[in-house]
Amino acid sequence: MEFLRETLERQYGAETAGEIFAGLSCNRAVTLRANLLKSSAEEIAQALTSAGIEFKNAVWSREAFILKNARESAVWELPEYKEGKIYLQSLSSMLPPIVLNPQACEDILDMAAAPGGKTTQIAAISANKAHVTACERNKIRAEKLKFNLARQGANSVYVMVQDARRLDNFLSFDKILLDAPCSGSGTLNLSGGKLPEGFTEELVSKSAALQLSLLKKAAGLLKKGGELVYSTCSVLESENENNALKILDSGFEIVPISFEGMETIPCLPSKISGALCVKPAELYEGFFVCKMRKVQAGGKIKC
């Protein structure tokens, strides 16, 4: 625990580090996303009301539902869940696809995709009209990804089961989401007063090194003028800003993140102006999202 406290205090100061610890120690509300490929916000609102589940919506998305006093198991029982009309997903995890802003006909790479929360959301936002390639190294997780894609009706997605660092260099994409494997420092559950066993200094430095190699690969696979969204569920700058800054130094510019309702999200200070670092809190997991553009304009994307 000392290592995490010292790292957070060095980065954010004692007061904010204390707030992060408090956020990591509270019980987080169950949240879900209405899958617009199969349903609507109205249908899901109706289903929750009929099941006696109280909810409110996130200010920044009508599809994001925050349940009051309900467990995930209550959602599993709903026919809408079994039919893939609902995806259980944390609020913070819904942000990277919104920031990516996928459009019809774009070639999009989701570089570390399983179990597919963000892949299915990208497919839904683009109404299955973007051409999505989802890459996942772990075979078992890739099966879960395929299951989720099928259940959610995300039929515009091509799955590649391989290490994304070895993707062929002849591939190129208009947009890339790298929702990178990370230490998970923003999603730790500290309510028991101790760190999970696997959370070590070594995990953080190994994660940072893997993230940087994935980021460099993403930078190479992106078309000129294309956009890269880098996200992690960590609040540590060694995994977040320090990696993103290395890419920004190599021919990328920051695209400041801005969307309606963003001011309602609790944020941590970031040394990258325009990046979004979500503070762990009652409704939110700790999360980092940064959008970068490969400098030099590309041509207009056609179908």
With 0-12 / 13-18 / 19 or more C-beta atoms within 10 angstroms meaning exposed / middle / buried, residue 51 is: middle
Could you tell me the two tokens for 257? 């993140």
What backbone phi and psi angles, to 5 degrees, belong to 168?
-65, 140
Q: Shortest approach of ligand SAM to residue 179 CB, angstroms?
A: 4
Amino acid identity of residue 227, one-letter, is E
Could you tell me the two tokens for 99? 């920031």
Using the rule CB under 6 A, is 223 a contact of ligand SAM? Answer: no
Q: Which is nearer to ligand SAM, 115 or 226 (CB)?
A: 115
Using the rule CB under 6 A, is 136 a contact of ligand SAM? Answer: yes
Q: Which is nearer to ligand SAM, 47 or 182 (CB)?
A: 182
Using the rule CB under 6 A, is 113 a contact of ligand SAM? Answer: yes
The whole-angstrom separation of Cα 249 and Cα 275 is 15
Q: Shortest approach of ligand SAM to residue 144 CB, angstroms?
A: 9
Q: Shortest approach of ligand SAM to residue 4 CB, angstroms?
A: 19
Q: Shortest approach of ligand SAM to residue 134 CB, angstroms?
A: 9
What is the distance in angstroms between the CA of the first residue and the CA of the last residue of the chain? 52
What is the DSSP code string of 12-69? H-HHHHHHHHHHHHSPPPPEEEE-TTT--HHHHHHHHHHTT-EEEEETTEEEEEEEES
Q: Which is nearer to ligand SAM, 39 or 187 (CB)?
A: 187
The residue sitting closest to ligand SAM, measured at its beta carbon, is 112
Using the rule CB under 6 A, is 216 a contact of ligand SAM? Answer: no
Helix axes 14-25, 2-12, angle to 10 degrees: 130
What backbone phi and psi angles, to 5 degrees, belong to 129?
-105, -10
The whole-angstrom separation of Cα 172 and Cα 186 is 31
Q: Which is nearer to ligand SAM, 17 or 134 (CB)?
A: 134
- Nearest residue to 303 via CA among 102, 132, 131, 134: 131
Using the rule CB under 6 A, is 143 a contact of ligand SAM? Answer: no
The distance of Cα 217 from the centroid of its chain, to the nearest Å, equals 19
Q: Shortest approach of ligand SAM to residue 129 CB, angstroms?
A: 20
* Contacting residue, 38, 62, 141, 216, with ligand SAM by CB under 6 A: 141
From 135, 182, 233, 290, the catalytic residue:
233
* Contacting residue, 78, 114, 132, 154, with ligand SAM by CB under 6 A: 114
Which parts of 176-215 interact with ligand SAM (CB under 6 A)? 179, 181
Q: Shortest approach of ligand SAM to residue 158 CB, angstroms?
A: 15
* Contacting residue, 44, 75, 112, 278, with ligand SAM by CB under 6 A: 112
Using the rule CB under 6 A, is 118 a contact of ligand SAM? Answer: yes
With 0-12 / 13-18 / 19 or more C-beta atoms within 10 angstroms meaning exposed / middle / buried, residue 242 is: middle
Cβ–Cβ under 8 Å, residues 46 and 75: no
Catalytic status, residue 233: yes
Using the rule CB under 6 A, is 163 a contact of ligand SAM? Answer: yes
How many of the other CB atoms lie within 10 Å of CB of 84?
A: 20
Q: Shortest approach of ligand SAM to residue 9 CB, angstroms?
A: 26
The whole-angstrom separation of Cα 167 and Cα 109 is 11
Using the rule CB under 6 A, is 153 a contact of ligand SAM? Answer: no
Using the rule CB under 6 A, is 86 a contact of ligand SAM? Answer: no
Residues forming contacts to ligand SAM in the complex (CB under 6 A) are 93, 112-118, 135-138, 141, 163-165, 179, 181
Task: Cite the active site residues.
Answer: 233
